[in-house]
Chain A
Amino acid sequence: MSMITPPPEGPSAGAVLDAPPNGAGTLTAVEAAELGLEPTAKPRSLLRRGWEVFAENKLALASLGGVVFMVGFCFIGPLIYSTDQVHVSLAQSLCPPGSGHPLGCDQLGYDLLGRLMTGGQTSLEVGFAAAVVSVLFGTLYGAFAGFVGGPIDAFLMRVVDAGLSIPYIMVLIILSVIFRPSTTIMIFIIAVFYWLGVARLIRGETLTLRTREYVQAVKVIGGRRSRAIIRHIVPNSIGTIIVQGTFAVADSILILAGLGFLGLGVSPPATDWGTMLSNGTNYLQSQQNYWWLIYPAGIAIIVTCISFNFIGDALRDAFETRLQRR
């Protein structure tokens, strides 16, 4: 999981800019701009250029399709294929896939295809929300620490170090035992750890950004710190932020699945993909092969997470190449 992303991974924007020019005599676009020369073409927006590089990547486009499909399946699917996911019907318990129940039923008689949609809603909601919360908080925290520097930065970063030194899964388990989580609590339980890695990364980015002239200029003209952070530091780290956010969704879904598997997920009748797998495990070893209790939920997790990972990877390429080929 990307929680142990090491610092040397991936050249930062600063490293690429500080690199020596490719050949003597030729100016890169960056240097030309610094010297005040006219750019040859009208500059396109960062997101636009990012999208163009992203769109060249077939795998990334397919992954984007995968995510759109999973979201549609979980949120629009129940409108087309509506099932009762609240009332237990033991007569239907463990019925095999067939007419009426394309993916069979689980031990309590819930239709599994419908359950996959309901569970997916929880998994995707928690994944997205935990990613947004942790990336937002981590970005502001890291940008603030890196920007102010000095003893405050040192203290804030020791807090992050302390958090990252606790094996996160153990504290997540303890928190789940204490709180018996609902969906909302689950989001914060996951975010409470995930923001740490984001904060460390953005702080590193801020350290290179804060020495730039346009950030210094804010200070010179008497602008507040918050202005420099929100108007300059954060927008210039947007590439890193988006990439981290993408990985955060995949990781949060995996963490939720893990907690669900340990029986610490959301409470019934609500469910998530991990809880579904946990229930299915009890029937794996019985005489009859109840494959439909295991594979659909597992494959749903894999498809979703692998898509987000590929998208994150492609986005990283997209945001890095922006510096080399504009």
Chain B
Amino acid sequence: MGGATMTTYLIRRLLQSIIVLFFVTLITLLLVHLVPGGPVVALVGVRATPQQIAYYNHLYGFDQPIWVQYWRWVSQFVQGNFGYSLKNNQSVASEIAQYLPKTLVLVALATVISLVFGIPLGIYQAVKRYTVGDYALTWVSFLGYATPTFFVGLIMIDWFSLKLPIFPSQAPQGTTVGQVLSQPAALVLPVFTFAFVEYALWSRYMRSSVMDNLVQDYVRTARAKGASERQVLWGHVFRNSLITIVTLIGLSIPTLVAGAIFVEVVFNYPGMGLAFYNAAQNVDFQTLMGFTVIATVATIVGNLAADVGYAMLDPRVRY
């Protein structure tokens, strides 16, 4: 792949991402205007007088044309001003600074653990396909798909915290990442709940990816050259299958966001997901919008990274 084509491709994808971001931010802003009575009523309550509503409408610029509001909001956003949560009396940027690191810790731990189990077991399933072991593990991953994340969490609490009091039922509390990490026992249940749900995803994709690769010509070539099954599997198939998984991790951010929200609510884990849930309960639109746009940017970056990563890892991909 030539350097020039890669650059053109990157530029095209970046432009596409900007267009996507434009749509998303516009939709988010329009959503808030869907609130019955307008965004100010959500803020000051339904019993506010018309004068108060008009005052706040003017104060926050909601009486301006939508494109003026949009421009102001986006230009503030680009400068790092994500809005101000009146319910929490805190800027959304400082909320993100406070909660995001803790959520990243949770997601990272769960993802690493689920990959440690999911990749080898997925390979095992593909190699021993249609055996008892494969069917048993297929059941496990289908259970992971069909069980709501929060129900996994509830079962974990019931079994490993109430029936067998091994682990605390509540996630570690604290304002800093250090405080959260200093209570490993309390981290076990939230992390494993999240990891189980992710495991279902990775193992399933790994299985189908390895199965696809096992019938490729290069595998036949390797076998014909006299490579052992071990060499074929780990030297060839494994490395090619990993490409799929790397791409998938980039594409799975919306799923991870959903997982984080439910795990954090069930275990009262002090991260972005719980803060988002609380904002929903308090009808705090500034926080809801700010968090949504940040998560969207993360998703777009993830998709971009997946595409670029795929192009770099697989030299057959050309643009």
Cβ contact of B20, chosen from A162, A254, A258, cutoff 8 A = A162
Q: Is the CB of B148 within 8 A of A263?
A: no
Shortest CB distance A304–B (Å):
8
A319 adjacent to chain B (CB < 8 Å)? no
Shortest CB distance A296–B (Å):
12
B292 adjacent to chain A (CB < 8 Å)? yes
Chain B 19-36 residues near chain A, CB threshold 8 A: 19-21, 23-24, 27-28, 31, 34-36
Chain A 277-301 residues near chain B, CB threshold 8 A: 277, 281, 284-285, 289, 291, 294, 298, 301
In whole angstroms, how far apart are the Cα atoms of A167 and B300 in the complex?
10
Contact with A along B138-155 (1 / 0, CB 8 A): 000011011111110011
- Interface residues on chain A, number (Cβ under 8 Å): 47
Main secondary structure of the interface of B (DSSP, over half): helix
Q: Is the CB of B148 within 8 A of A261?
A: yes
In whole angstroms, how far apart are the Cα atoms of A170 and B295 in the complex?
9
Q: Is the CB of A167 within 8 A of B146?
A: no
Cβ contact of A262, chosen from B145, B247, B254, B277, cutoff 8 A = B277
Q: Is the CB of B257 within 8 A of A169?
A: yes
Q: Is the CB of B280 within 8 A of A262?
A: yes
In whole angstroms, how far apart are the Cα atoms of A148 and B198 in the complex?
38
Q: Which of B171-179, B180-188, B258-266 contacts A (4 or more CB under 8 A)?
A: B258-266
Q: Is the CB of A298 within 8 A of B145?
A: no
Q: Is the CB of B23 within 8 A of A159?
A: yes
For A9, A175, A178, the residue with the greatest tally of chain B CB atoms inside 10 Å of its CB is: A178
B281 adjacent to chain A (CB < 8 Å)? yes
In whole angstroms, how far apart are the Cα atoms of A169 and B263 in the complex?
13
Contact flag A177-B23 (CB < 8 Å), given A3-B254, A4-B255: no
Q: Is the CB of A306 within 8 A of B148?
A: no
A257 adjacent to chain B (CB < 8 Å)? yes
Q: Closest residue of chain B to A193, judged by CB?
A: B254
Q: Is the CB of A174 within 8 A of B31?
A: yes
Q: A residues within 8 A CB of B212? A: 8
Shortest CB distance A284–B (Å):
6
Cβ contact of B280, chosen from A158, A168, A177, A301, cutoff 8 A = A177
Contact flag A306-B143 (CB < 8 Å), given A174-B31, A177-B280: yes
Contact flag A168-B262 (CB < 8 Å), given A173-B276, A285-B169: no
Q: Closest residue of chain A to B261, judged by CB?
A: A169
Q: Closest residue of chain A to B33, judged by CB?
A: A178
Q: A residues within 8 A CB of B252? A: 4
Q: Is the CB of B288 within 8 A of A158?
A: no
A274 adjacent to chain B (CB < 8 Å)? yes
Q: Is the CB of A257 within 8 A of B148?
A: yes
Shortest CB distance B281–A (Å):
7
Q: Is the CB of A167 within 8 A of B247?
A: no
Q: B residues within 8 A CB of A294? A: 154, 158
A171 adjacent to chain B (CB < 8 Å)? yes
B203 adjacent to chain A (CB < 8 Å)? no
B111 adjacent to chain A (CB < 8 Å)? no
Contact with B along A153-181 (1 / 0, CB 8 A): 00000110110111111110111111000
Q: Is the CB of B20 within 8 A of A161?
A: yes
Contact flag A4-B251 (CB < 8 Å), given A165-B24, A262-B280, A306-B143: yes
In whole angstroms, how far apart are the Cα atoms of A6 and B247 in the complex?
9
Q: Is the CB of A158 within 8 A of B16?
A: yes
Cβ contact of B31, chosen from A1, A175, A262, cutoff 8 A = A175
Cβ contact of B147, chosen from A8, A261, A291, A302, cutoff 8 A = A302
B244 adjacent to chain A (CB < 8 Å)? yes
Shortest CB distance B309–A (Å):
13
In whole angstroms, how far apart are the Cα atoms of A257 and B150 in the complex?
9
Contact flag A167-B23 (CB < 8 Å), given A284-B157, A285-B162, A309-B145: no
Shortest CB distance B255–A (Å):
6
Shortest CB distance B223–A (Å):
20
In whole angstroms, how far apart are the Cα atoms of A169 and B35 in the complex?
18
Q: Closest residue of chain B to A11, judged by CB?
A: B212
B125 adjacent to chain A (CB < 8 Å)? no
Q: Is the CB of B299 within 8 A of A9?
A: no
B85 adjacent to chain A (CB < 8 Å)? no
Q: B residues within 8 A CB of A165? A: 20-21, 24, 296, 299-300, 303
Q: Is the CB of A177 within 8 A of B288?
A: yes
For B145, B257, B288, the residue with the greatest tally of chain A CB atoms inside 10 Å of its CB is: B145
In whole angstroms, how far apart are the Cα atoms of A258 and B36 in the complex?
24
A266 adjacent to chain B (CB < 8 Å)? no
Cβ contact of B283, chosen from A175, A177, A258, A298, cutoff 8 A = A177
Q: A residues within 8 A CB of B240? A: none
In whole angstroms, how far apart are the Cα atoms of A264 and B288 in the complex?
15
A305 adjacent to chain B (CB < 8 Å)? yes
Q: Is the CB of B291 within 8 A of A162?
A: no
B208 adjacent to chain A (CB < 8 Å)? yes
Shortest CB distance A7–B (Å):
10
B222 adjacent to chain A (CB < 8 Å)? no
Q: Is the CB of B292 within 8 A of A170?
A: yes
Q: Closest residue of chain A to B161, judged by CB?
A: A285
**Would you list the 9 A-B pairs with minimal beta carbon distance, nearest first?**
A162-B23, A305-B146, A306-B146, A167-B257, A169-B258, A167-B254, A298-B151, A162-B20, A167-B295
- Known pairs A173-B277, A178-B35; list 15 more (Cβ under 8 Å): A6-B205, A161-B16, A162-B24, A166-B28, A166-B254, A167-B258, A177-B280, A177-B283, A274-B148, A281-B266, A301-B147, A302-B146, A306-B143, A306-B145, A309-B146
* Contact surface of A with B, Cβ cutoff 8 Å: 1, 3-4, 6, 8-9, 158-159, 161-162, 164-171, 173-178, 250, 254, 257-258, 261-264, 274, 277, 281, 284-285, 289, 291, 294, 298, 301-302, 305-306, 309-310
- 17 CB contacts below 8 A, A to B, read A162-B24, A165-B299, A166-B254, A167-B295, A173-B276, A174-B280, A174-B285, A174-B288, A178-B36, A250-B145, A254-B146, A258-B262, A261-B265, A262-B277, A264-B280, A284-B154, A306-B146
